[in-house]
Amino acid sequence: MSQPVRIDLEGFGKAYGGVPVLRDVSFTLYGGRVHGLLGENGAGKSTLLKAVCGAVAPDTGRVLLDGRPISVGSPRDALRHGFALISQELALVPAMTVLDNVYLGRWHNRLGWRSGRKDGRTFARLLERTGFELDPSALVRDLPLAAQQQVEILRALVSGASVIGMDEPTALLTKTETDRLMAVIRQLAADGTAVVLISHFLEEVLSVCDDVTVLRDGRHVVTGPAAEQTPDSLVRHMVGRPLELMYPEPAPVAPSAPVLLSARDVRRGTAVRGVSVEIRAGEIVGVAGLVGSGRSETLRAIFGADARDGGTVVVDDRAVPSGSPPQAMAAGMAMVPESRKEQGLVLARSVRENMALASLGSRQLAGFVQGGAERSVAGTMLRDLDVRGSDLSGPVWTLSGGNQQKVLFGKWLLERPRVLLVDEPTRGVDVAAKSQIHRLLVDLAAEGMAVLMVSSEVEEVLGLSHRVLVMRHGRLVAEYARGEATREQVLAMAFADDLPGTDPPPEPGGRAAPGRVDPTTPTVSSRTSTEEQR
């Protein structure tokens, strides 16, 4: 590799409907370096990256490649100059194989006929270079998310990308998968690629990035070496003032507090194999575990999003039938699902309509929506959760990812449920909003709500929960009181039998566990983890 490339971004500006979301942003990227892009939800990070990679047309701004202005008017143009974007929502063809996706549109051919053999050979070399383990003939839709991301990375490499932008690639990954990805990113940089990394995990950014840039309200705040920053200084730049980043202490649960949720021996297929849990009023119970361990499936089965194969769920002495969200809601349960795009929000509809959706019946008169009441409760919730980037009437899809998450939360809080099931409550949420959501959960519990929370962030589980449960292969395998467990202990329990040298637990009927999640190398054989992503 000769002289590393230098990419100057000059004066990027973009407004939507007259509201600026990017204002005159300029900074420089270098080949061989990893550049972190930070900012609160809605700061304009994704918009900037999309503009640079030709996915949205900026109002102003140009890109200089080694001093020469280049045109990045479309993704195709950008790719020609070596700019590839791995966006927040992956863009793969689910029904095609890994190999076909990696070479999408640039298959080797002989006189117009596809030459799969040649693709296969270069694919093998790519795997060698990156250390990924992917089966070229597997269908992309059967892959766990981490593997799908690898497919995207390979595709970027095949296109000869010298600049790769990654928009929150680790938001959906577990710790091991994240570590693996960070190693790959370092490897890419070592090969001379300029990598831009958007992430809300400050430690992650500080550990992997050479440089960082912070945006606030669409404005450029600072660019500089990562070594000169600390998590606190980054937060100050992002939020505009210092911010306490401690987990709020949950209020102690009174020994006399009644049990609100009692689930017994809940089963569903191979994903949930007999889970029992009791939660008292005011208690936050956190569930840790690997992707594919059945955490989300457990929540869904308790709520009734999926029918149970067995087991009972009782809320407040009232039995909740299997597979009926309306009945679960009538009993006082609410579930914030893990994927806001697929399961949570109606993207084309307004913020107001989305917030009102789960509680339409409580603000109606003769079947008609009471507009005034709805506006006022939704407006209050919007302010309480500090949703930014839109008023009530704006469609939800125009909000940034983190703000969408807040709307999703707000929807379920309008009805003040007695039992709240939350799956990944802070996925893709910025540091400030994250501590707001943490505060909110703790406050809700203090008011007497029973909270069952699933999170891939072990720190979050440890920091917020009165009790920590660890799940593995569809069963609860450990329980710790607050302060009793360390991060390492929880992770060890989550992996346990996957670690070399330990034996897997006996399976019912003597079968081996289908598709275990391998802690060291994300493999493509994990069936249970694809189930979790549906």
Partner 1 sequence: MTITADTEAATETTGRAAASRFTKLHDFGIVLSVVVIVIALSVTTQTFLSTGNLVNLLDQAAVIGLLACAATLVIISGAFDLSITAVLAVSAIVAVVVTTHAGVPAGMAAAVLTGGVLGAINGLVVITVKVHSFIATLALSIIYRGLAVILTAGAIVYPPDDRVTAFQALSWPTTLGGITAASLLFLVVAAVCWAMLAGSTFGRRIYAVGGNEEAARLSGIRVGGVRVAVFAISGVCAALAGLVLAARGGSAQASMATGMELTAIAAAVVGGTSVLGGEGAIWRGLIGVLLITLIGNGFNLLGWDTIYQQVVQGALILGAVSFDRLLRGRRS
Ligand X SMILES: Nc1ncnc2c1ncn2[C@@H]1O[C@H](COP(=O)(O)OP(=O)(O)OP(=O)(O)O)[C@@H](O)[C@H]1O
| Interface ranges with partner 1 (CB under 8 A) | 16-19, 55-57, 217, 239-240, 243, 305, 325-326, 328-329, 335, 337, 342-349, 353, 356-358, 360-361, 364, 367-369, 371, 383-384, 386, 388, 390-391, 393-394, 411, 432, 436, 439-440
CB closer to ligand X, 47 vs 526? 47
The least distance separating ligand X from the CB of residue 345, rounded to whole angstroms, comes to: 14
Where does this chain bind Mg ion (CB under 5 A)? 46, 401
| Residues 390-409, interacting with ligand X (CB under 6 A) | 390, 398-402
- How far is Cα 170 from Cα 168, in angstroms, rounded to an integer? 5
Does position 21 bind ligand X by CB under 6 A? yes
CB closer to ligand X, 42 vs 61? 42
The least distance separating partner 1 from the CB of residue 395, rounded to whole angstroms, comes to: 9
Q: Report the partner that residue 41 touches, choosing among Mg ion, partner 1, ligand X, none (CB closer than 5 to 8 A by kind).
A: ligand X
Q: At 445, is the secondary structure helix, strand, or coil?
A: helix
Residue 84: closest CA among 100, 113, 68, 106: 106
The least distance separating Mg ion from the CB of residue 173, rounded to whole angstroms, comes to: 16
Q: How many CB atoms lie within 10 A of CB 181?
A: 22
Greatest Cα pair distance in the chain: 78
Does position 197 bind ligand X by CB under 6 A? no
Cα within 13 Å of Cα(346), Cβ side: 11
Take residue 426 and report the two structure tokens written for it.
Answer: 């802070």
- Per DSSP (E only), the strands in 126-271 are 163-167, 194-198, 211-216, 219-225, 259-268
Q: Which helix (H) or strand (E) holds 180?
A: helix 175-190
CB closer to partner 1, 342 vs 484? 342
The least distance separating ligand X from the CB of residue 511, rounded to whole angstroms, comes to: 42
Torsions phi, psi for 21 (to 5 deg)? -115, -15
| Residues 24-43, interacting with ligand X (CB under 6 A) | 39, 41-43
Take residue 84 and report the two structure tokens written for it.
Answer: 């590839």
Q: Choose which of 47, 199, 293, 456 interacts with ligand X (CB under 6 A).
A: 47
Take residue 191 and report the two structure tokens written for it.
Answer: 């090969």
| CA dihedral for 313, 316, 318, 321, sign (positive or negative) | negative
The least distance separating partner 1 from the CB of residue 304, rounded to whole angstroms, comes to: 9
The least distance separating partner 1 from the CB of residue 302, rounded to whole angstroms, comes to: 13
| Residues 364-393, interacting with ligand X (CB under 6 A) | 389-390
* Burial of 70 (C-beta count, 10 Å sphere; 0-12/13-18/19+): middle
Q: Under the rule (CB under 6 A), what is the footprint of ligand X?
A: 16, 21, 39, 41-47, 389-390, 398-402, 430
